[in-house]
Structure 1
Amino acid sequence: MKIIQLTDPHLVQPGQMLNGTDPLARLGIVLDDISRHHGDAGLLVITGDLTDDGLDQAYRALDERLRKLGLPYRLLLGNHDQRTTFGAIFPQVPRDEAGFVQSVLDTREARLIFLDTLDDGKVGGRLCATRLAWLEQRLTEAQGRPVLLFMHHPPFEIGLPALDHCLLAADDALSLATLVRGHGDVRQIFAGHVHRPAHGLWNGVPVTMLPGTNHQMPLDLHDASVGPVDEPPAYGVILLDADNLIIHLRILAPPAMAPAHG
């Protein structure tokens, strides 16, 4: 199975700019590339911060682009998203019984679990007792099957002071670790939020974080005050079978950075 992950589009009102770039145009570059090279993908997952301010027009622009792409998709919420507005534009996106944007997808290769880490009004993420109980049930159902987790906020610090104060809440991360260890075959966690390519090992489980599609955070291990920088958009190509998991990073050049011809 081929799964495409992209993250943090941070869409604003169409035609407006964010951090000196056009988020919708950059997302278009990524989706066009996916359409050209990976139209056979079985799933597209966008791991949160779909919009920058939760605007209705931004969600509508995303809906329009995804309809044109034509791939099955799952959308996750990040700290920049607005739950009610998102739900009005994407009523078909699965939710759990409590209304959180959480769901599962069982494939031939694994169970995919999509988590909602949005803590309304906060930059950091939460997995409250209700969401953790839901996850525990889904993991129990999947005993004997491999699991992949998708979420917006990474569950551990990554060594970047500008970000490490606003990841998944520490107590919730401990509870998540207990559930992951209890299942015994969570093979990979995919996250967004950090706007950087980063990979790690957390409680024995590999974790992959990707660049966003509009702007990135600099690789600065010392300064907590650094802000977004203009680096190329990217997305991940996940190849999954019964025994193997391979993740490729596709980095794209936006129009202003493309090489000249002639």
Structure 2
Amino acid sequence: MLIAHLSDLHICPPGRLALKVSDTIGMTQRAFDAVAALPVRPDILVITGDLTESGLPEEYALVRSMLGKLGLPTLLIPGNHDVREPMIAGLDLGPHADISGGFIQFKADLGPFRLIGLDTLLPGSSSGAICDARLDFLERALAEAEGRPVLVFTHHPPFSCGLGYMDAVMLKDGAARLTEIVARHPNIERVLSGHHHRPVQVRYAGTIGQVVPGVAHQVILDLTPGAEARFLMEPPAFMLHMGRPGTGLISHTAYVGAFEGPYPFSLGKE
């Protein structure tokens, strides 16, 4: 079982750069090309939000076209830059999507794993929230898993990452109940998020919380208290989550770009 996990595409209309700097269409296409070129084809693609920069119908039309060319089964949840109504209207959310109550969530079974995606969008805010209706969906999806290993996906991380400017916009409302639910279910192997545009790992509620880097620009790594939120054009990346019997989930970071090599290690021998 192999999951390609991408986040934070921030697709803009053609000819527009995100934040006047980031060519998100080109960067997303290169990331999709990197996924397509993997030696082992992923079983599924999960994108944890911020598919678009502004939630415009023309942005979702472009995302849909790019995903169609990639041709992988895909699971999607919204981020704070997304807008639910045009996202639902403009994308093929697939058979595993749950849009009850107007939220965009999913539950899907892949090999021995159950994948659950939660909508943490709070319209008009960069921070996240999750209400009782969405958490009730999580409770039901966990009950149906009957103890099988579970991966929970969110856009906003429900845990601190140590970057003050990102912790200020993490999941807030509803985070306490989510943490309590996760702590009650030791079969939750990971809570996997986006939003922070950095690779982060932390122990959370008895499991592992993990943030995937952004496909677009990255947030600067500055652990100075009170540091200003800034971004830079570090190499984009995505995660590959591999399920292995007897081991559980193994995660790898895959960088997007053209790099020298590969070379055989035998070149170093005389």
**TM-score (norm: length of structure 2):** 0.90
Q: How does 1:72-111 map to 2 (within 5 A)?
A: 72-93=73-94, 94-111=97-114
**What CA distance in whole angstroms lies between the structure 2 residues aligned with 1:29 and 1:235?**
11
Name the SS for the 2:166 alignment partner. Answer: coil
User: What corresponds to 2:123 in structure 1?
Assistant: 120
Alpha-carbon contact 1:109-1:241 (below 8 Å) kept: no
User: What corresponds to 1:232 in structure 2?
Assistant: 235
Name the SS for the 1:162 alignment partner. Answer: helix
Name the SS for the 2:219 alignment partner. Answer: coil
User: What corresponds to 1:206 in structure 2?
Assistant: 208
Alignment CA distance shift 1:140-1:151 (3 Å): same
Unaligned runs of 5+ in 1: none
Alpha-carbon contact 1:156-1:202 (below 8 Å) kept: yes
**What CA distance in whole angstroms lies between the structure 2 residues aligned with 1:167 and 1:224?**
16
**What CA distance in whole angstroms lies between the structure 1 residues aligned with 2:80 and 2:69?**
26
**Pair 1:185-2:203 in alignment:** no
- Aligned AA (1:248): H
Alpha-carbon contact 2:3-2:46 (below 8 Å) kept: yes
**What CA distance in whole angstroms lies between the structure 2 residues aligned with 1:87 and 1:111?**
23
- Aligned AA (1:18): A
User: What corresponds to 2:28 in structure 1?
Assistant: 27
**TM-score (norm: length of structure 1):** 0.93
In the alignment of these two chains, the number of paired residues is 255
Name the SS for the 1:113 alignment partner. Answer: strand
Name the SS for the 2:228 alignment partner. Answer: coil
Tell me the CA shift for residue 38 of structure 1: 5.2
**What CA distance in whole angstroms lies between the structure 1 residues aligned with 2:147 and 2:200?**
29
Alpha-carbon contact 1:196-1:217 (below 8 Å) kept: yes
**What CA distance in whole angstroms lies between the structure 2 residues aligned with 1:113 and 1:172?**
17
User: What corresponds to 1:146 in structure 2?
Assistant: 149
Alignment CA distance shift 1:218-1:180 (3 Å): same
**What CA distance in whole angstroms lies between the structure 1 residues aligned with 2:5 and 2:93?**
20
User: What corresponds to 2:2 in structure 1?
Assistant: 2
- Aligned AA (1:8): D
User: What corresponds to 2:51 in structure 1?
Assistant: 50
User: What corresponds to 1:216 in structure 2?
Assistant: 218
Tell me the CA shift for residue 227 of structure 1: 1.4
**What CA distance in whole angstroms lies between the structure 2 residues aligned with 1:252 and 1:90?**
25
Runs of 4 or more consecutive aligned structure 1 residues displaced over 6 Å after TM superposition: none
- Aligned AA (1:159): G
User: What corresponds to 1:253 in structure 2?
Assistant: 257
- Aligned AA (2:2): K
